[in-house]
Amino acid sequence: MIGLEEAWSSQQTAITALNDLIRVIHTYKLNLLRRTTEDLKMLERIIQSAVREVDSATSPDLQALLTMSPAEQRSKLQFTTVMQTSSNNMTLALLKSVNVFISKQFSILPTAQEPVKFILYMEPTKAYLSPAPFTLSYEAHIADLITFAEFTALCFLPSSNVFATGTRNNRHTLSIDCIGEYAVPLADTLDVHWGPGLILVRAKAYLFGGLKGGNSAVCEMYDLYENDWAMLPDMLTPRSHFQPTVHKQFIYIFGGLDVDKAERFDLTRYSFEPLNLSVPGRHFITTYCHGDVFYLFTRTEVLRWDQRGPLQKIKEGLSVAFYSQMSPLKLDQELYFFGSSDEEHYLMKFHLETYKLDIALQFGVGAN
């Protein structure tokens, strides 16, 4: 009998504990619903306030917004940076609403990377698109592309849009929507960079060097959410025509046009430090770090560096030269970047485990 009473008592205690837990969950759900409702009401009040700030003169802007294509609307909503390129009352009011709401909802702005859907190859007068899985290409007709200036530095934004900059005679920067095939101007760079190094790390793009007369050491940083460039300390060595890579808290920079030195940029201290490493090739170099191993694609060879000694050749005497227009794209164990041979232009594919190197496709109308 005593055993039954103890079991019954234990059962009642368990039931009481479960009931208490259910009440806690119910209270939490009610609080969450109340908080969500309050947030929605707050957003409604903010938008109503923003609308009141819009005067009758902005009606053409509102009409233009309503007549945008779905792709244009998506791009405008994905990047608050796009909004900041305009100064009309409608845009500023909407920007204020979005910024206030985001600041109350997130301690850190979301920067999750969407899968890349297109690779963009740009020439001075043409552009080509290759949709995933990157086995064919076709000529693109990108609206609002600024006079087809030769953009020599491309990387992928979190929305999979292409971030393009690095022109010879101006400071233009674009966000290119490859699905809608149109370009949105972003803030101009502070200096001219032609053939620079470009890499996106979290919500910031880092732009290194390029040509300005000769090799330049000037570096800049672009904030995606502020749509603004800031000047960084100069590199230790002026250089151009290279693509950097990131590992831990450093951006690594190897070689470049007529340069065989290497250095790295500390993302926490915003300073450069030299690397005791000599880089061959000295012209058009693309790099990528996989795990703790660096892969360097020079003009005629592929090199490997494990940070413990000199560079090691894993392929040489290649008929395809690599060049540094696009920040390398990694999908699974395949690395994609650009190459050329006898005026032909290719998308290269390198397997990071087997070291197999292939031409994924040739760029051009109808090219496979």
DSSP 26-67: HHHHHHHHHHHHHHHHHHHHHHHHHHHH--GGGHHHHHHHHT
Calculate mean pLDDT across residues 81-101: 47
3-state helix, strand, coil in the chain (%, to 5): 25, 35, 40
Q: Are 32 and 26 in contact (CB under 8 A)?
A: no
pLDDT at 53 over 80: no
Q: Any idea which of 105-119, 210-224, 230-244, 301-315 has the lowest mean pLDDT?
A: 105-119
Q: Are 81 and 186 in contact (CB under 8 A)?
A: yes
Ranges 55-69, 138-152, 242-256, most confident: 242-256
What confidence score (pLDDT) does residue 300 get? 82
Q: Which two tokens stand for residue 181?
A: 């095939």
For the stretch 10-35, pLDDT in tens is 666 766 766 666 666 666 656 555 55
Q: What mean pLDDT value characterizes the chain?
A: 79
Nearest to 353 by CA among 328, 335, 327, 338: 335
Calculate mean pLDDT across residues 353-360: 93
0.85 cut: is pTM over it? no
Distance, CA of 106 to CA of 41 (rounded, Å): 17
Band the pLDDT of 170: cuts 50, 70, 90: confident
Calculate mean pLDDT across residues 146-173: 86
Calculate mean pLDDT across residues 63-79: 51
In sign, the C-alpha dihedral spanning 143, 335, 217, 214 is negative
In the 8-state DSSP scheme, what is residue 326?
B
pLDDT at 217 over 60: yes
pLDDT at 69 over 80: no
Q: Would you kindly state where each structural domain of the chain is located, as residue ranges?
A: 2-105, 118-362
Band the pLDDT of 280: cuts 50, 70, 90: confident
Secondary structure (3-state) at 73: helix
Identify the architecture of domain 118-362 in CATH: 6 Propeller (2.120)
Calculate mean pLDDT across residues 301-325: 89
